[in-house]
Amino acid sequence: MEHHASDEEHYRKLERMYVRAPGNDFYAPKLSIGHGTTELAIPIDRRFYHSAGAAHGSVYFKALDDAAFFAVNSLVHDVFVLTVTFTTYLTGPISDGEMRATGRVVHAAKSFFLAESVVCDSKGREIGRGSGSFTRSRVHLTPEIGYY
């Protein structure tokens, strides 16, 4: 995985693009990107609950997929990547505090990537994990999609 002179600038542009995505208005996540890695936090809100009073699995999926996705896109400087497959394991409930997901790339080729992510609660207990495959899209990273 080669480093580019503008890696840090690329990571900050991806972080700004992420925050500006309309769906994130609801979840209020915070994202930090490094080389092939990410850290993501989502504060738990009662609006995320299922009937039994804990966060719905869709929130786990979002945290895990976003963490893995941006770990991959940290290595791709010209285009948006796409999730091809993503397997999610829910291993514990969360009803307060925040979800903290970390993602990392485990395989990088020209246009195919594998990444893994783990999500923990505020006390550091693992509550889920996932892995997925990702590919390059034809959507260029430009200011029009929030990459600036």
CATH class of 7-145: alpha beta
Segment 92-112 mean pLDDT: 97
Q: Round the average pLDDT of the chain to a whole number and report it.
A: 96
- 67 and 102 Cβ atoms separated by less than 8 Å: yes
What pTM does this model have? 0.95
Other C-beta atoms closer than 10 Å to the C-beta of 47 total 10
- pLDDT score for 3: 53
Nearest Cα neighbor of 134 from 57, 89, 79, 56 is 79
pLDDT tens track for 109-137: 999 999 999 999 999 999 999 999 999 99
